[in-house]
Amino acid sequence: MQKKALSVIVMGKTGAGKSTLINAVFKEDVASEGVGRAVTQKNQKYTKDAIANMVDYDNNIEYQIELHLEITDTVGLEIDQRITKKAVSEIEKNLKELKKSKIDSIVWFCINQRCNRLEKYESNMIYKLSQTYEIPFIIVFTQCYSKEGKLKRQIEEVIPDIHVYEVLAKDLELDEEYCVKAFGVDELLGSSIVNYNEFKTRVLKDKLSNLDKDKKERIRELEELANKIILECSENAGRICEKVFAVKPMEISRIKREMLERISEVYGINKRLIKNLDTQIIYGLINKPLMLIPGVMGASAAESYIEGIGYDFSYKMKSILEDMTDEVFDDERARIEELIKRLESR
């Protein structure tokens, strides 16, 4: 059974429903809850080892993973800037430790749906912390029991690349006759696990053009993320083979194609540009023997096949970046143009 570890930091204003959300995730009362008042007086970490039910929507397969989950409930952000500054300072200590640990980490930034706007200091803080500690943020609308699109549209305008999820952490009785059932919590956790590499890719790509640091270190980070994608796709291929005992070439070909697109995106070529490139240019970078797909294969063979292609392709893309001059590498537009030019010339 596949093993995963995820660390979540839950942030937001006092009364945003952070503790209620955490209790819903753990399906037990681990964090004290309040109604519009500060209950969490200091950052508190909760952990749980569990078997999590997951869904591979692309392949319509349900599966289980062994999940080690850490969730940190943080002190609520206040209007008082002095209190907020202290709370953020404590959160930064946690983020710094997570960055060193290499554990998959994400921040759920909770906003009560009834709020009418995202404060300027909140959007600035999200951007700063995400870039500094290379951690993905998800906006979580809490206490959702009606369709309110105004705040969501504002967030999409201010922070266009951020994901927004709507949840109602526990059943809400509006009156004696009508009760809104809880929803969205399992989807939020599942997406944080399944789509983590995609979220991380966006953060690193955004930082790549803004961060002034050693070129080799920046390329190494991209390679590490590409490796995670390769292993994820390898596990998907193995899981399909275990499900049907043998797999058709078309299914492996689809996983291979999606993996190559995602790796290309990590190294700087987005999906729109990939589609404009001849498929043979992309596949031409890969050793020819690996391109032959057997009629059927077992789980282990499918995993090895996908990993072989993925690592070979990632190595070629990394080599192109390493050969670039520092001037081209540091200019995002020039870097993409050079990548495409090198691909087309091989």
| Mean pLDDT, range 10-24, rounded to an integer | 91
| Mean pLDDT, range 127-134, rounded to an integer | 90
- In sequence order, the 6+-apart residues with CB closer than 8 A to the CB of 16 are 76, 110, 111, 112, 142
| Mean pLDDT, range 131-142, rounded to an integer | 93
Of residues 333 and 48, the one with the higher pLDDT is 48
Please answer whether residues 246 and 298 qualify as being in contact, where contact means their C-beta atoms are separated by less than 8 angstroms.
yes
Confidence at residue 177, expressed as pLDDT on a 0 to 100 scale = 76
Reported residue count of the chain is 346
Query: What is the C-alpha to C-alpha distance for residues 226 and 325, in angstroms, rounded to an integer?
Result: 22
The residue to which tokens 């049907």 are assigned: 244
**pLDDT higher than threshold 50 for residue 35:** no
Confidence at residue 119, expressed as pLDDT on a 0 to 100 scale = 84
- Domain 2-206 = CATH 3.40.50.300: yes
Please answer whether residues 40 and 103 qualify as being in contact, where contact means their C-beta atoms are separated by less than 8 angstroms.
no
Query: What is the C-alpha to C-alpha distance for residues 129 and 240, in angstroms, rounded to an integer?
Result: 38
pLDDT digits (tens, 9 = 90+) for 64-118: 899 999 999 998 887 556 667 788 888 999 999 998 888 999 999 999 888 877 8
Least confident of 34-38, 43-47, 307-311: 34-38
pLDDT digits (tens, 9 = 90+) for 176-227: 778 889 899 999 999 999 999 999 998 887 877 665 456 788 888 899 999 9
Query: What is the C-alpha to C-alpha distance for residues 71 and 333, in angstroms, rounded to an integer?
Result: 38
Which residue, 302, 300, 102, 335, is CA-closest to 205? 335
| One-letter amino acid for residue 258 of the chain | E
Determine how β-strand 163-166 pairs with β-strand 172-173. unpaired
Confidence at residue 2, expressed as pLDDT on a 0 to 100 scale = 81
Please answer whether residues 182 and 170 qualify as being in contact, where contact means their C-beta atoms are separated by less than 8 angstroms.
yes
Domain ranges in the chain are 2-206, 214-345
pLDDT bin (cut points 50, 70, 90) of residue 34 is low
Q: How far is CA 188 from CA 68, 110, 176, in A?
A: 16, 12, 29
The residue to which tokens 């991209």 are assigned: 222
pTM above 0.75, yes or no: no
Question: Is residue 79 packed enough to be buried (19+ CB in 10 Å), middle (13-18) or exposed (0-12)?
Answer: exposed
Q: Where are the alpha helices (DSSP H) in 163-214?
A: 185-194, 196-208
**pLDDT higher than threshold 80 for residue 23:** yes
**pLDDT higher than threshold 90 for residue 9:** yes
